Amino acid sequence: MKSSDYLEYIKKAAEYGRANYMSQIETWRKNFDPNFYFGYVAPNHVPFQAHLEGFLYWITGEEEHAKWCKRALLDIGELKSIYPEEKIGLHPEYEEGLPAMDALFPLPPYIHGYKYLKDSGVLSIQEKQIIEETIRGSIRSTLHFPEWGAHNRSMLRVRSMALAANVLGCDAETSKWLKLADVLAQESWGRWSIEDTGHYISLWLHASIRYAQAIGKEKKFYQMPQTKWYFDYMAKLITPYGQVPDFGDTHFNSNWYIWLECLEKGASVYQCPHMKYAAQKIWEFAKHVSQQTATNGEFPYSAVVASHCTFCYQDADDELVPKIPDTKSELLLDDLVGKKLAFRSGWKPDDTYMLLNYCDEGQYARVPRQYLRTTLSVRAEKMHHGHNDENSVSLLVRNKNILLCDGGYRERLPNGKYRADIYHNRLAFRPSLMNDQTGVYDFLHDSGAYKHTVTELIHFQDFERLCFSMTRMTEEASNVTWNRSITYLKEDDVFILLDHVRCNQEGDMTIANLWHTGQILLKDENFYDTRIPVIYKGPGDKAPYRNRDDWSLLVEFPGLDHKGDVEKIQRNYGDSILLSRYTSRRFEKKESEVFLTVLTPHESKENPKTLTERISIEYLSDEKDVVLLSYQGKNKLYLTYKFDLDKGISSDLDRYPRYSWEEGKIEYKDVTTDADFSYVEVDNDRTGFGLVNGTGIEYRGKDLFKVPVFTTYSFTTTDWKTTASKWKAWEETLK
């Protein structure tokens, strides 16, 4: 994107805003609710129009823009007369006067509009006083509830106070604002956000950027490693064609324009062509969505979007050439904060992309999280804005076809049901038994309150032939430990999900493997061919996004004797279909269960039956803690999984290493290995193999690989002995 592209959009958005300025005010008056639980809410388009007009006056010097900016700046204060006087007394935060607007969202563009006009000579001294009192009044009410913690609502307050102090100058009142802003910013400055949502992480970063700018500490801000991390995170998280993935409190592709603003800034500061490329793809997809869902098929012009484009215009580096990333499947960006896995076939628009989110609340920022938990009505979410979606597949796309998507934000305040575990592509657990008269959905449906979990990355290894991951979740409410293993077969474009659940106490338990789609095209006993026709962008969406239909998703549940159900439900603001496989029985302590799901994207014109029954369970131990799968594609592929990672580990704490090939090897029929995961691929001319965390692998009694041995000294026995060390990973092809 070039600066000129952003300027062109801003000009057209300003024209559209002028043409609809009064009609939007009348609509606001008509729908105004004096009993709204958030108190007085002004029409947002007025301050945003002020920003656009002020910006264009700064760029062009055209007096007409100054007149419109002045009009909007003065209008916003007049509009608050609609609020009944008796309602003001119900709000202590209005004790110094009814604020003209909310300080979090509309006030900053209002301030920016005023900054462009302040010294232009267009405003009289009296008009400046009116505008500045409007700014002060909006900040004053905010001081009654200064939310804190490393999340967007705190940093939005910080941004507003810093901007207000910047434009009004230093006095006793603004000095207090800056002091409070600095206190609130401490949790975010050089630290990790507690958000886990595509919608709000961008707002938090945007507000942090503008705060650093307002206080004159941009250089220091961009030098901090945490800052750079978030820009990289954004650039790596998007789909190959530019969709912002849904996770947490997020609508479909929402806040894309804030991502755009952040990435243009990051690209310029860090001279990163990948960030520039990501910004370009985000714009392209957003334009496609907007044109497709618009009534006239044209790119609609939004003052809110244009407001963020003013920053894009100022920050974009037109000399920086976008460059397509060369990364494939990877961690996003680590296993402590990001806690997401992206599986990619590449970065071309028609490539495959899957996002797994295993992010829990984390062990940092305990006090801010507890503050939010005890101050706000947020029982349904992680602190802050995250969902009960750990180990969930948030998004799966192929060739711009959305094959799996997230469950939506919420359908109403305060606690939207779509945050609950059952609305995500994951396993759900209930410590009780189903009855024959109750469907899976009705049985699992509960209050929706967040169930605290702890998650960790066990393995992630990107081999040449395939990509393997294992992530673990321990849920307190049901006292279960769940390992989700994903094997992505790159050449075949197939995802194998093997879920292992261990019950940590004796008792009744229902475990359900849940997958959500929109339409079943074909079904059989163990498979469903599916697609998602439309995706709603939020509650009451009258023009949902029409998904492409040239690719479909084959969902298979092969080889295991689980009960199944297909139910029509409401999800993501529209009709949806829930596919499930489940077991409901009494479990002994440390007893396990395994679920197998195979996801195969394919062209819709292709007969899905030709793609079924390629996966077989060749071996499942009595304890269900080791599994051998075989896959028949172009070649024969064997996959071994060990879920009890202590298997083969000696209990003798004085012995090192506490493992050996003889003690740890497991015979999976044709394959023998002590690795946590391995694969063997066989064709007529060669044998390929790979392993994770092991010392060796055999195929049909023949060594494929054994780590070299070494001599070690035992301090407990004062003996020397020959031993072997596990290798993290290895792969090789033998002729």
Report how far residue 640's alpha carbon sits from residue 111's, in angstroms, rounded to the nearest whole number: 61
Parallel, antiparallel, or unpaired for β 677-682 and 687-694?
A: antiparallel
Structural domain count of the chain: 3
Whether 231 and 266 have beta carbons less than 8 Å apart is answered as yes
Tokens of 53: 């007009």
259-288 per-position pLDDT tens digit: 999 999 999 999 999 999 999 999 999 999
Q: Given a cut of 90, is residue 719 above it in pLDDT? A: no
Q: Given a cut of 80, is residue 718 above it in pLDDT? A: no
Residues contacting residue 30 through CB under 8 Å, at least 6 positions apart:
none
Residue 490 parent element (H or E): none
What is the per-residue burial (b if ≥16 Cβ within 10 Å, else e) of 408-436?
bbbeeeebbbbbbbbbbbbbbbbeeebee
Burial class (CB in 10 A: 0-12, 13-18, 19+), 569: middle
What is the per-residue burial (b if ≥16 Cβ within 10 Å, else e) of 3-28?
bebbbebbbebbebbbeebeebeeeb
Report how far residue 539's alpha carbon sits from residue 465's, in angstroms, rounded to the nearest whole number: 42
Picking from 567, 585, 450, 570, the residue whose alpha carbon sits closest to that of residue 511 is: 585
Query: Are both 58 and 112 inside the same structural domain?
Result: yes
- A 10 A CB-CB count for 613 gives 15
Residue 148 binned pLDDT confidence (cut-offs 50, 70, 90): very high
Residue by residue, DSSP assigns 145-164 as: ----SSSHHHHHHHHHHHHH
Query: Are both 366 and 477 inside the same structural domain?
Result: yes
User: How many CA atoms lie less than 13 Å away from 216 in the CB half-sphere?
Assistant: 3
Query: Are both 599 and 623 inside the same structural domain?
Result: no
CA-CA-CA-CA torsion sign (204, 341, 476, 570): positive
Q: Is residue 185 part of a domain?
A: no
CA-CA-CA-CA torsion sign (191, 194, 196, 197): negative
Question: How far does Cα 666 stand from its chain's mean position?
Answer: 38
Burial class (CB in 10 A: 0-12, 13-18, 19+), 284: middle
Q: Is residue 23 part of a domain?
A: no
Burial class (CB in 10 A: 0-12, 13-18, 19+), 677: buried
Whether 463 and 690 have beta carbons less than 8 Å apart is answered as yes
Report how far residue 553's alpha carbon sits from residue 604's, in angstroms, rounded to the nearest whole number: 9
Query: Are both 437 and 467 inside the same structural domain?
Result: yes
Q: The domain spanning residue 488 has which CATH number?
A: 2.70.98.70
pLDDT at 381: 94
Tokens of 498: 């093997």
Q: Given a cut of 90, is residue 415 above it in pLDDT? A: no
**Would you tell me the crossing angle of helices 63-79 and 125-142 to the nearest 10 degrees?**
50
Report how far residue 107's alpha carbon sits from residue 73's, in angstroms, rounded to the nearest whole number: 11
Query: Are both 590 and 673 inside the same structural domain?
Result: no
Please identify which residue in the block is written with the tokens 């900040």. 139
How far CA 601 is from CA of 190, 424, 561, in Å, comes to 41, 19, 24
Span 58-76, mean pLDDT? Answer: 98
Q: Given a cut of 90, is residue 720 above it in pLDDT? A: no
The backbone torsions φ and ψ at residue 296, rounded to the nearest 5 degrees and listed phi first, read: -105, 5
- A 10 A CB-CB count for 653 gives 8
Query: Are both 508 and 618 inside the same structural domain?
Result: no
- Strand arrangement, sheet containing 401-404: 330-332, 340-344, 352-357, 392-398, 401-404
Please identify which residue in the block is written with the tokens 């084959």. 554
Report how far residue 188's alpha carbon sits from residue 193's, in angstroms, rounded to the nearest whole number: 6
Picking from 512, 494, 603, the residue whose alpha carbon sits closest to that of residue 566 is: 512
Q: Is residue 238 part of a domain?
A: no
Whether 475 and 455 have beta carbons less than 8 Å apart is answered as no
pLDDT at 186: 97
Query: 121, 143, 165: which is the final residue of a domain?
Result: 143
Span 140-164, mean pLDDT? Answer: 96
Q: How many residues does the chain have?
A: 735
Q: Which 3 state secondary structure label does DSSP give 326?
A: coil
Q: Given a cut of 80, is residue 297 above it in pLDDT? A: no
Whether 384 and 192 have beta carbons less than 8 Å apart is answered as no
Query: Are both 118 and 76 inside the same structural domain?
Result: yes
The backbone torsions φ and ψ at residue 602, rounded to the nearest 5 degrees and listed phi first, read: -155, 155
Q: Is residue 293 part of a domain?
A: no
What letter does residue 458 receive in the DSSP assignment?
E
What letter does residue 241 receive in the DSSP assignment?
T
Whether 361 and 378 have beta carbons less than 8 Å apart is answered as no
Query: Are both 533 and 563 inside the same structural domain?
Result: yes
- A 10 A CB-CB count for 690 gives 25
Report how far residue 196's alpha carbon sits from residue 384's, in angstroms, rounded to the nearest whole number: 7
Parallel, antiparallel, or unpaired for β 671-673 and 534-535?
A: unpaired
pTM beyond 0.95, yes or no:
yes
Query: 143, 174, 192: which is the final residue of a domain?
Result: 143
Query: Are both 597 and 619 inside the same structural domain?
Result: no
Q: Is residue 174 part of a domain?
A: no
Span 640-647, mean pLDDT? Answer: 97
Please identify which residue in the block is written with the tokens 């070494």. 710
Q: Given a cut of 90, is residue 583 above it in pLDDT? A: yes
Report how far residue 711's alpha carbon sits from residue 576's, in angstroms, rounded to the nearest whole number: 61
Query: Are both 392 and 478 inside the same structural domain?
Result: yes
pLDDT at 93: 94
Q: What angle do CA 21, 24, 28 make, to 5 degrees?
A: 140
pLDDT at 66: 98
What's the domain range around 58? 32-143
Question: How far does Cα 492 stand from its chain's mean position?
Answer: 26
182-209 per-position pLDDT tens digit: 999 999 999 999 999 999 999 999 999 9
Picking from 552, 545, 531, the residue whose alpha carbon sits closest to that of residue 573 is: 545
Residue 656 binned pLDDT confidence (cut-offs 50, 70, 90): confident
3-state secondary structure 515-567: EEECEEEEECCCEEEEECCEECCCCCCCCCEECCCCEEEEEECCCCCCEEEEE
**Would you tell me the crossing angle of helices 3-19 and 21-31 to the nearest 10 degrees?**
60
Query: 563, 578, 603: which is the final residue of a domain?
Result: 603
Span 629-655, mean pLDDT? Answer: 94
Tokens of 252: 């479909």
pLDDT at 296: 77
Q: Given a cut of 90, is residue 16 above it in pLDDT? A: yes
Picking from 481, 454, 452, the residue whose alpha carbon sits closest to that of residue 380 is: 452
Picking from 121, 29, 151, 128, the residue whose alpha carbon sits closest to that of residue 73 is: 128
What letter does residue 245 receive in the DSSP assignment?
P
Residue by residue, DSSP assigns 565-607 as: EEEEEEETTEEEEEEEEEEEEEE-TT-EEEEEEEEEEEETTS-
Query: Are both 627 and 597 inside the same structural domain?
Result: no
319-359 per-position pLDDT tens digit: 999 999 999 999 998 999 999 999 999 999 999 999 999 99
Q: Given a cut of 80, is residue 1 above it in pLDDT? A: yes
Query: Are both 569 and 702 inside the same structural domain?
Result: no
Residue 240 binned pLDDT confidence (cut-offs 50, 70, 90): very high
Span 303-317, mean pLDDT? Answer: 98
Long-range Cβ pairs for the range 364-371 (8 Å, 24+): 364/192, 364/194, 365/149, 365/150, 365/187, 365/191, 365/192, 365/194, 368/148, 368/149, 368/150, 368/151, 368/187, 368/194, 369/149, 369/194, 371/148, 371/149
What is the pLDDT of the chain when averaged over all its residues? 96
What letter does residue 418 receive in the DSSP assignment?
G
Tokens of 272: 């990163």
Percent of the chain with pLDDT over 70: 100
Report how far residue 550's alpha carbon sits from residue 602's, in angstroms, rounded to the nearest whole number: 9
Q: Is residue 638 part of a domain?
A: yes
Span 522-528, mean pLDDT? Answer: 96
Q: Is residue 559 part of a domain?
A: yes
pLDDT at 63: 97
Span 585-591, mean pLDDT? Answer: 98
pLDDT at 24: 97
pLDDT at 298: 78
Whether 670 and 652 have beta carbons less than 8 Å apart is answered as no
Q: Is residue 660 part of a domain?
A: yes
